[in-house]
Structures are given as structure tokens and as C-alpha cells.
Amino acid sequence: MKIVNKFSQLSWLRKLKKETWLMLFFLTLQGLAWGQAVINVTLTNPVCSPSAVDGEIKIDIISGSPNYNYEVFVGTTLVYSSGSTSNITQTFSNVPAGNYIVKVTDQVGVTSQNVAIESLGGLIGSGNITNVSCNGGSDGTAKIVVSGGTSPYTYSWTGGQTTNQITGLTAGTYTCNVTDATGCTISKNATVTQPPALVSSFTVNNATQCLNGNSFDFTGTTTSTSGLPITNYSWTFGSGSTPSVSTLSSASNIVYSTSGTKSVNLTITDANGCSASHSSNVTINSLSTVVLTTTNISCNGLKDGSLKLVPSSGVAPYTYSWTGTGSVSWRVGSYDTMINLPAGTYNYTVTDANGCQKTGQATVQEPNAITVAKTRTNVTCNGASTGAINITPSGGSPVGSPSYVSYSWTGPSSYSASTQNISGLKAGTYTITITDVNNCTGSDTVLISEHTAISISQSVTNVYATVLPQVQLTLP
């Protein structure tokens, strides 16, 4: 907007009374005669903002005696000066709103005039901010409220939003440029803050343990930097744990039934609903599998049993401890195999490099002695060969299911046979020797008897007879 100093408009002289016109004409002639400058001042007020510096003071010389020095004062302080010039027009730009004194000095003297650059008002912006509720969250909002200027307004936020309010904000500073209908702009910053982060952590009594006898104690060492109390603890301990969850600040005597690496997690929540989590691993080492090979006693009465241990998990090297019959401790150290064992029960402990142990018990068995159940048939007649022997063996190897590989008979008159059962025997003593798969033997004897031979004693009595004549009859 341009405001023209009315003293520069000569046309208004026609509207004055005659006496006034004559006075001004006289004064003008006097100025022309003296050479004192007559000036016209044109003002341009700031357009978009009270604080803008786009005002302008333009000074035109109507009459005067060059050269001219144009000056603008605020009170007694010189703020603009042209220096000596012959120009009859001088413009001072970038002038803020305020009251000024314009002075023009020519060869005759100084002409001064009070002027005012008016504040037309402009865009005024204020903001409403909702800070992020939890550290790292994205629920902040920022809203700009605009007054002044000329509506409608357009908005341009960093990030591309074009409304006066933006939502879903993380912590940070957001800038909004507002433009009114005349093109005037203002820029406002909105700083969205967030509370300090919760810190969730915990300690564990021993993060690496053996499967046998493991027991873990976890202690929460959480920190509420927001000053709000922690209202909830939520633990998970990973697979195979007892218990599997907890809501206490500390969790004790957590036992795992399976080995491996377990992920333990603690999530805390404060009174504002903000949460934080921390995870750490614990390791359960295992010596869960030891393969035991048992060799039983081969034959009754021997001491040739053996036991062999082969660990299939854990960390080498291993040590072994054995106890045998009578609870005598022996063979402690690197002996994984025990030989020349008598029948009995043996306990063992295997320890790996981590100190994890596996205990167990093994039994070395002894087969029963080979025995024979016999059924015999004696000779029916003296001197005959009608005897028979049937046998049923028991005992021998292997334990529980013996297997026999040979039968050997001997008897009278150099008798021999290799079948289980024999027949067609004469009277006499027969010996059976049975051999099992482990070459263990068992023997027994069987007596085949016969009846005593029949004996006949003779007694003769003479008989005397009379020979009668023979008669032949013929019947009709």
C-alpha cells in the first residue's frame, strides 16, 4: 500500500479558501526565492508481517537548490543517508514499521518532515504439541494455529503433509511453512519430545550349567529413568524350563529339562504403559547320552565279563569312576572299559570337561551251569539192544536263551553218538557232554539196565504106556 504525503498534491490547493491559498503561494514564492527545498514523501508500508522490513520511503524534490543530502532519522539517530547527490528522487528500501524524520539538505538549508511507516499486521502462528508418550514411540502430534494475513492458508510441513495438524510423530523438530492468499508466509518450528528410555536388564547366578542339577536364578536390574514406577514384569525362559514364565521382579530356581542354548527375556512396563525388553542366553550343557556295552560271563564260574562306556555328547576329555560288587571304588580315571569282571552289579559316573556328569548302573550276568533232564528206556530183554535215552538240556550261554552246538555220547563197547537223543542201546553206562555257543560244556551219565537172563532147570520122569490096537470105524 502506498500512502502519498498530501503536501505533495498541488491539486488540493484549489479546495482551500482564498486567504489560505494566498498564504501558501506566498510561502512557496518565498521558498523559491530563498532556494529551500520543497519535498514530496511517498511511503510504502510492510506487506506481510509487523516484523517485516519491506517498507519503503521515497522522497521527491519539488523545488530546491542542488546538491541534496537525503537523511532519515529515528529520533536523533541517523538510520539512512544518501550522501550528497544531484538526484531529485531518493528511495530508501527495507524499512521496518516505525516513526521517522525525513530531512533534505540543499544549498539553502534543511527541510524536514515527520512520517510513519505503519504496521499492517500479518500472519501470526502459534503451535500445539503433544509429545511422544514412550521413548521411541510415534504418537506425537503438532498443530499450527494461524491468525492475521488473508485466508485461506496453505500449509507445508517437512515430510510433505499439507494440513495444519500432523500426527504419528516421533521425537524431533518439524517445520511448517504457512502461506496466505496474498503470498505472505511464515515459518514455525514444532519440537516434539519424548521421555527417557526405560532400561530393562537382569543378572543370572551362573549362565552356563550342566543339565543334571541345573538351577538358574535371574534378578531384574531395571531402571525407570522417567521416574514412574515399574508396574509389570514379564519373564520368559525358553523351552524346557520350569516354570516357563514369571511376573516377579526376580525369578529363582528355574530348572531346564533339556540341554542347549535358551533365550531368556524380561519385559518391563511402567505406570505410563511404556515398556522395554532385554534378552540374554543361558547354556545348559549335557552329558545326556552314554552308550553302555555289556559283555556277560561266557561260562558259568568264569570271570571274563566286561563293560564299555562311550559318551555321545558332552565335551572331551572324559573321566570315569566305577564301583563294583561290595561298593569298592576302583578304576577311577580314563578307564572307559572294564574287563575280567565277575558277575555282579556295577555303578559308573562319567564326567566331561565342563564338569557335567552322567551316572548309571550295569549288570554283568553269569549263565547257569548246563544241566540235563533225562528220560531213559531200559533194555527189555537180557542181551537185547532196545534201550533209549532222551535228554532236555538247560543252562549255558547266552544268558536267558542258551544255544547248544553239539552233543557227544560215549558208552559201552566204544559206543559214540552226536545226536541229542539216542536209542537202540545195550545195557550199560552212557555219558553225554553238551557244548553251547560259548564252548561251555556240561556232562551227565545215564545207566541203561536190562533184565536178568531167563534160566531153565530140567527134571525127567519116565512114563510107561501100553500100545492098544487101532480100530477104524466107518460111519454111515
Q: How many whole angstroms separate alpha carbon 203 and alpha carbon 217?
A: 8
- CA–CA distances in Å: residue 106 to residues 5, 40, 362, 371: 20, 15, 129, 155
The pLDDT, as a whole number, for residue 461 is 65
Cell numbers for 103: 530531512
Q: How many whole angstroms separate alpha carbon 436 and alpha carbon 448?
A: 26
Element containing residue 78 per DSSP (H, E)? strand 77-85
pLDDT in tens, 112-137: 999 988 765 667 778 899 999 999 89
The answer, yes or no, to whether the previous bond of 317 is cis (omega within 30 of 0) is yes
| CB distance 238 to 263 below 8 Å | yes
At 427, is the secondary structure helix, strand, or coil? coil
Beta-bridge partner residues of 234: 267
Q: Strand 344-351 vs strand 319-323: parallel, antiparallel, or unpaired?
A: antiparallel
User: Which spans in 16-118 are helix H?
Assistant: 18-34
The pLDDT, as a whole number, for residue 460 is 63
> Can you say whether residue 243 is alpha, beta or left, with left for phi > 0 and alpha for psi between -120 and 50 degrees?
beta
- CA–CA distances in Å: residue 466 to residues 460, 461, 463, 471, 472: 20, 17, 10, 15, 19
Cell numbers for 309: 562306556
Q: How many whole angstroms separate alpha carbon 85 and alpha carbon 321?
A: 116
Q: How many whole angstroms separate alpha carbon 211 and alpha carbon 206?
A: 13
At 136, is the secondary structure helix, strand, or coil? coil
Q: Which residues of the chain have pLDDT under 50?
A: 1-34, 326-329, 471
Q: What is the largest CA-CA distance in the chain?
A: 236
- Residue 458: how many CB atoms within 10 A of its CB? 4
Q: Strand 68-74 vs strand 140-147: parallel, antiparallel, or unpaired?
A: unpaired
| CB distance 136 to 194 below 8 Å | yes
HSE-up (13 A, CA, CB side) for residue 55: 24
- Residue 107: how many CB atoms within 10 A of its CB? 12
Q: How many whole angstroms separate alpha carbon 234 and alpha carbon 265?
A: 8
Domains and CATH numbers, the chain: 2-117 (2.60.40.10), 124-192 (2.60.40.1080), 202-285 (2.60.40.10), 290-364 (2.60.40.10), 371-448 (2.60.40.10)
Q: Which residue has the cell 512396563?
A: 269
Nearest to 4 by CA among 51, 48, 47, 40: 40
The answer, yes or no, to whether the previous bond of 212 is cis (omega within 30 of 0) is no
The pLDDT, as a whole number, for residue 44 is 81
Q: What is the CA radius of gyration of the chain?
A: 65
| CB distance 362 to 348 below 8 Å | yes
> Which strand ranges, in their side-by-side order, compose the sheet holding 202-204?
202-204, 216-220, 250-256, 241-242
The pLDDT, as a whole number, for residue 102 is 94
The pLDDT, as a whole number, for residue 21 is 41
- CA–CA distances in Å: residue 407 to residues 391, 413, 440: 10, 19, 12
Q: How many whole angstroms separate alpha carbon 78 and alpha carbon 60?
A: 19
Q: First CA to last CA across the chain, in angstroms? A: 196
Q: Which residues of 219-257 are buried (b: 16+ CB within 10 A; e: fewer)?
A: ebebebebeeebeebebbbbeebeeeebeebebeebbbe
Q: How many whole angstroms separate alpha carbon 342 and alpha carbon 459?
A: 74
DSSP 8-state code for residue 450:
B
Q: How many whole angstroms separate alpha carbon 395 and alpha carbon 319?
A: 38
DSSP 8-state code for residue 134:
S
Task: Look up residue 152 and give its amino acid.
Answer: P
Rounded to 5 degrees, φ, ψ at 183 are 95, 0
